[in-house]
Amino acid sequence: MRAFAEIDLGAIASNVRKIKSQTEAEVLAVVKADAYGHGLWPVANTAIEAGATWLGVALLEEAIKLRTHGLSAPIIAWLTPLHENFEEAINLNIDLSVPSLAHLRAISVAGEKLKTRPRVHIELDTGMTRGGLLLEWSEFLNEIKDAPVEVVGLWTHFARADEPESDFTEAQLAEFMERLDELNKVGINPKYIHTANSAAIQSRKVAHKNMVRLGISMYGLSPDINFMGSSEKLGLKPAMTLKSEIHLVKEVPANSAVGYGGTAKTKERTKLAIITLGYSDGIPRNTSDKAGVFVAGKRAPIIGRVSMDQFVVDLGIDSVAQSGDIAEVFGPNGYSIDEWASAAGTINYEIVTRISPRVPRIYR
Ligand SMILES: *Cc1c(COP(=O)(O)O)cnc(C)c1O
C-alpha cells in the first residue's frame, strides 16, 4: 500500500480511561472532522466502549452519520447554520446548540411541526467572541421561559484554557456561572453544564462541572506542547501513525538540486528516497527541509520542496533502506506529530485533521 494512517484504537480507549480517572464529570467525546482525521465511526464506538457517555460534533451531517451507523448515545451538533435541516436532527434525536435567538426560533418552529420539544444546549459567549449568546442575552432570557424546547444543557467554550498562567479562563467561568444563575431564576435548570475542552480538563478541575468535552487529548495529543507539555508528560498515547511505502531509492552525486525550484542541493554523494505522500495528502508544503521520515533505523530529513503527491528525503550514503520499504512519516519511532506541527508552524490538531481521505485509515 503506497501510504496509510495506522489508528491505534487501544490508545484512544486508554486516553479516554486516563481522562475518566481524572474527573467525576461525564465525558463527551469530540469526534468532529472525521474524529480529528482518525475516522468517525471507529473512534466514536471505541470512546463509548471506553466510558464516554456523550458524543459531540460540529456539523449536523457528522451527527447524522453517527446515528445512521447505529450509535444511540446522546449526540450534540454545535455548528448548525439556520438553514440546516433541524427536523431531521430532531427526528434522529440529535441535540442542537442554540447560539442565538434566531436559532431558538428556527429550532422551535421545527419542533412544533413535529409536535415535539427539541433538545437544546444554550451556548454562551463568555469571552471567545465566536459562537454563543452575548448582547441578546436579556431578550433571550425573556423568550426561553416559554419556548417549546427542552433545555438539556448550558455551555461555553474557552479561548485560552491552554495557558495555565492566564486568568482569562477563570473570568469566562465567572461570567458563565452568573448567566447560569440568571437562567435558573427564570425557571430553567439544564441538566448538563459543560465548559471544559482538553486543556481545561487537564488544568482546571473547577471547570469540569458535570460534563467535559474531550477532543485532542483523546487522540493522545497535548492541547499545547509549550504550556502544557508533551503527550508523554500528560500520560497520553498518540493514536495516529502515518506510513508510506518508498517509491524509489537512488544514489545521486554531490551538488544535485532536488525538486521544484532546485531549492536544496545534496552536500555530498548520497541516497535519496521518494516518499509517496504530498501536499494533496495533507503533508504541509511549508515543511520543506524541516521535517522528515524514519526508515531503516534512522531519521531521514526532507530535502527540497514537498510536491503534490511526493517528497524526497535524504537517507545518507550508508542507509540500507530500499525501494518498497515502509517509512514512518510520523509516529513513535521517528518524527512525532508535534515535530511536524512545529516544522509547519502550526499545531498538532491541524497535522492530523488535514491528512486527506485519499490516505486509508488502518485500524489496530
Ligand atoms: C473542538 C471542540 C472541543 C474539543 O477541544 P479540544 O481542544 O480538542 O479538547 C470542545 N468543545 C467544542 C465546542 C469544540 O468545538
Read off the pLDDT of residues 48-104 as tens digits, 9 standing for 90 and up: 999 999 999 999 999 999 999 999 999 999 999 999 999 999 999 999 999 999 999
Q: What is the pLDDT of residue 276?
A: 97
For 332, other C-beta atoms within 10 Å of its C-beta total 11
Strand-pair partners of 123:
155
Contact 28, 213 (CB under 8 A): yes
Read off the pLDDT of residues 196-213 as tens digits, 9 standing for 90 and up: 999 999 999 999 999 999
Q: What is the pLDDT of residue 165?
A: 84
Question: Which protein residue's CA is at the shortest distance from atom 13 of ligand 1?
Answer: 157
> Is 250 annotated in the active site?
no
Q: Nearest CA to 5 among 252, 239, 338, 263? A: 239
Closest atom of ligand 1 to CA, residue 131? 13
Q: What is the pLDDT of residue 190?
A: 98
Beta carbon of 153 within 6 Å of any ligand 1 atom: no
Q: What is the pLDDT of residue 164?
A: 82
Beta carbon of 157 within 6 Å of any ligand 1 atom: yes
Question: Which protein residue's CA is at the shortest distance from atom 15 of ligand 1?
Answer: 58
Beta carbon of 99 within 6 Å of any ligand 1 atom: no
In angstroms, how far is the first alpha carbon of the chain from the final one? Answer: 16
Beta carbon of 215 within 6 Å of any ligand 1 atom: yes
Q: What is the 3-state secondary structure (H, E, C) of the chain?
A: CCEEEEECHHHHHHHHHHHHCCCCCEEEEECHHHHHCCCHHHHHHHHHHCCCCEEEECCHHHHHHHHHCCCCCCEEECCCCCCCCHHHHHHCCEEEEECCHHHHHHHHHHHHHCCCCCEEEEEECCCCCCCCECCCHHHHHHHHCCCCCEEEEEEECCCCCCCCCCCHHHHHHHHHHHHHHHHHHCCCCCCEEEEECHHHHHHCHHHCCCEEEECHHHHCCCCCHHHHCCCCCCCCCCCEEEEEEEEEEEEECCCCEECHHHCEECCCCEEEEEECCCHHHCCCHHHCCCCEEEECCEEEEECCCCCCCCEEEECCCCCCCCCCCEEEEECCCCCCHHHHHHHHCCCHHHHHHCCCCCCCEEEC
Ranges in the chain, pLDDT < 70: none
Task: Render the burial of 186-211: b for 16+ CB within 10 Å, e for the rest.
Answer: eebebebbbbbbbbbbbbbeebbbeb
Task: Name the catalytic one among 32, 209, 243, 271.
Answer: 32
Ligand 1 centre from 195 Cα, in Å?
Answer: 10
Beta carbon of 294 within 6 Å of any ligand 1 atom: no
Q: What gap in Å lies between CA 19 and CA 69, rounded to an integer?
A: 26
Q: Nearest CA to 27 among 155, 209, 203? A: 209
Q: What is the pTM of this model?
A: 0.98
Q: What is the pLDDT of residue 126?
A: 98
> Is 260 annotated in the active site?
yes
Q: What gap in Å lies between CA 337 and CA 284, rounded to an integer?
A: 12
Closest atom of ligand 1 to CA, residue 155? 13
Contact 158, 128 (CB under 8 A): yes
